[in-house]
């Protein structure tokens, strides 16, 4: 069964450093997403990506963050100048596309990357 | 704006007992509602989704949920808990179909503990 994969599973970095979190969405999916979950808090939407550009982003997704689809399979989240409060689990998700009317489409999630900023 | 409230960060039930996980939502438009489950060290897996076709929705692993507009609720139930049901459960809402550009809005999650 196809699945979303993410690497690394755990990333430790020093405050101020840049990190790149990697995701391989399901191959025929068109929409890609990043979410994060700070320990003990809600899963929060960061950004969605379609047709090689950002579709929607939340207020969390500021200039510190960027996303890219560098090739036909990978989808990355770059966090520049990391801060302590960026420590969280980051989930990548993908879906087939936009459902019309009541055709609700499922988002498939990866296992997450735990980012620890020291 | 939409939001989700999951009552109870931890719920403990005995094996074979009824499972009830509560979810209340707030949405300015008719919502699309989802329940996801997360097993340790794994991603979020869709249990079931509400599409307005039927208020009682059946999902995988014997779970079901009932949409009650008057109560703005979408509680998750299972008649008989199994040890393998121990996991984190997330309720989520979207004002779109869930597969488009808009992200899902999640609750804080409920950790389900199954007592032998």
H/E element holding B34?
strand B32-38
Whether B32 contacts B95, CB under 8 Å = yes
Residue B41 is encoded by which pair of tokens? 């060290």
User: Would you say residue A114 has pLDDT above 50?
Assistant: yes
Per-residue pLDDT of chain B (116 residues; tens, 9 = 90+): 788 999 989 999 999 999 999 999 988 777 889 999 988 877 889 999 987 778 899 999 999 999 999 999 999 999 999 999 999 999 998 876 444 567 889 999 999 999 99
Q: Which of B97, B100, B103 sits opposite A58 (nearest CB)?
A: B103
Which strands sit side by side in the sheet containing A5-7, from one edge to the other?
Answer: A5-7, A19-24, A75-79, A65-68
Report whether B87 contacts B10 (CB < 8 A): no
- Residue A44: count of CB within 10 angstroms of its CB: 20
Nearest CA in chain A to B9: A40
- Nearest chain A alpha carbon to B111: A40
Q: Alpha-carbon torsion A116, A117, B5, B7, what sign?
A: positive
pLDDT on residue B74: 96
Q: For A2-31, what is the mean pLDDT?
A: 94
Residue B110: how many CA atoms within 13 Å on its side-chain side?
26
Residues from chain B contacting residue A93 (CB–CB below 8 Å) = 44
For residues B92 and B106, the answer to whether their CB atoms sit within 8 Å is: yes
For residue B102, the model assigns a pLDDT of 72
**Contact (CB<8Å) B51/A48:** no
Q: Residues A62-86: pLDDT tens digits?
A: 999 999 998 888 999 999 999 999 9
Q: Indicate the residue of A45, A46, A101 with minimum beta-carbon distance to B105.
A: A45
Which residue shows structure tokens 């249990």? B47
Res B98: pLDDT: 45
Nearest to A106 among B41, B98, B109 (CB): B98
């Amino acid at each position: 069964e196809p699945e979303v994969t993410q690497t690394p599973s755990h990333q430790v970095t020093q405050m101020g450093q840049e990190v790149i979190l990697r995701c391989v969405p399901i191959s025929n999916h068109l929409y890609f997403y990043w979410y994060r979950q700070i320990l003990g808090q809600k899963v929060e939407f960061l950004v969605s990506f379609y047709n090689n550009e950002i579709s929607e982003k939340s207020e969390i997704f500021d200039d510190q963050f960027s996303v890219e689809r560098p090739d036909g399979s990978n989808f990355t989240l770059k966090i520049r100048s990391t801060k302590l409060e960026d420590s969280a689990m980051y989930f990548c998700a993908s879906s087939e596309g936009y459902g019309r009317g009541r055709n609700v489409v499922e988002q498939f999630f990866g296992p997450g990357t735990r980012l620890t900023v020291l | 704006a939409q939001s989700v409230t999951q009552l109870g960060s931890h719920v403990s039930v005995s094996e074979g007992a009824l499972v009830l996980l509560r979810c209340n939502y707030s949405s300015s438009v008719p919502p699309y509602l989802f329940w996801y489950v997360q097993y340790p060290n794994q991603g979020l897996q869709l249990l079931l989704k509400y599409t307005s076709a039927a208020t009682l929705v059946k999902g995988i692993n014997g779970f079901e949920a009932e949409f009650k507009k008057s109560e703005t609720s979408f509680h998750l139930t299972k008649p008989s808990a199994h040890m393998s049901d121990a996991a984190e459960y997330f309720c989520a809402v979207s004002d779109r179909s869930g597969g488009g550009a808009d992200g899902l809005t999640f609750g804080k999650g409920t950790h389900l503990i199954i007592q032998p």
